[in-house]
Amino acid sequence: MTSTGTPRTARLLPGGPVAEAVLADVAARTAALRRAGVVPSLATILVGDDSASVGYIRMKQQRATELGFASPHTQLSGTASQADLVRAISAYNDDPGVHAILVQHPTPAQIDYPAAISAIDPDKDVDGLHPENLGRLATGQPGPVPCTPAGIEALLAFYEVPVAGRDVVVLGRGTTLGRPLSLLLSQKRSTADAAVTLVHSGVPGWDRHTRRADIVVAAVGVPGIVRPEHLRPGAVAIGGGVRYAGRRLLPDLDETCAEVAGAITPRVGGVGPTTVAMLFRNAVELAERLTARSAQV
Ligand SMILES: NC(=O)c1ccc[n+]([C@@H]2O[C@H](COP(=O)([O-])OP(=O)(O)OC[C@H]3O[C@@H](n4cnc5c(N)ncnc54)[C@H](OP(=O)(O)O)[C@@H]3O)[C@@H](O)[C@H]2O)c1
């Protein structure tokens, strides 16, 4: 509540405008590659026919086409083995016309997803999740950065949320989001350079950290886990973690957080659109790097 008794309403930080700006840059770069005779190519692999995953792949292919990418696709049956998946990955690894490879997550139970990611050529790893790329991130070397963390850094920069020197608390240490985000925002760069604290299920009373943070990023996947009493009034709250109940998206940030936060991502259209945009930014960067390298040999 404000001093006049009306509920505070945080400034919203939608991801759509951030994604538009990123994708405009991607489109200009794919056009430049095409003018140089290179068709950037993002290959996708889907194991099974989970309806949400089929929808995501369709959306990514449509976006790819709009942005000027080729988008070859391999569809494997829901009973495909790890060896079948690795064979499909290897075929794209060996294809010089393919610059970026995406294995759609989640995969069926018989598939070891981390092992599949490790089978991707690190220089074609569009999700930035290959151990070599996570190592590049940890050591500050150039390479594809996991898309959701990269999207969150871009979102904070777009809305000119000060990050350098501020206290950022990331809740969740998962490999796709919390841990790489903690590495990214602690890098030496004006849009990062933060004092990052990473908390998780091994930290009882993690709210003693979030309650003093300038920026809290929820990266858990437990709906409503972050509540207003976990935030310092005026803090920036970023909702990365989500769970789906059917088609309904259930975010980590309880909606009442908007009454305490100074700025917050919306329930729908927050971090998600920036993740997709960063996928294509990674794809065009991989195409540029591989093209530059093949020109040198
Ligand atoms: N918006 C997007 O585009 C996007 C993209 C990617 C991922 N996501 C979402 O982001 C979330 C995280 O993804 P991920 O792959 O990193 O997940 P993950 O590997 O499952 O990591 C979840 C983390 O949350 C922690 N955690 C679980 N319950 C907790 C609790 N009660 N208190 C404190 N910490 C708790 C876990 O702790 P332990 O390590 O101790 O188990 C773990 O570190 C998921 O909801 C995912 O759907 C969103």
Domain boundaries, the chain: 38-121, 146-272
Fold of 38-121: Rossmann fold (3.40.50)
Q: Which residues of the chain have pLDDT under 50?
A: 2-3
Ligand 1 is surrounded, with C-beta below 6 A, by 148, 171-178, 200-202, 206, 219-222, 225, 240-243, 271-272, 275
Q: Which amino acid residue places its CA nearest to atom 47 of ligand 1?
A: 242
pLDDT on residue 8: 65
Note the Cα 127 to chain centre separation in Å.
Answer: 8
pLDDT on residue 1: 52
pTM: 0.95
pLDDT on residue 143: 96
Token pair of 161 as six digits: 């949320």
- Strand blocks (E) in the chain: 11-12, 42-47, 73-76, 100-103, 167-171, 195-199, 215-218, 236-239, 242-245, 248-251, 263-264
Q: Is 110 a catalytic residue?
A: no
Whether 258 and 70 have beta carbons less than 8 Å apart is answered as no
Q: Which CATH number fits domain 146-272: 3.20.20.30, 3.40.50.150, 3.40.50.720, 3.40.640.10?
A: 3.40.50.720
Which helix (H) or strand (E) covers residue 116, if one does? helix 113-119
pLDDT on residue 245: 87
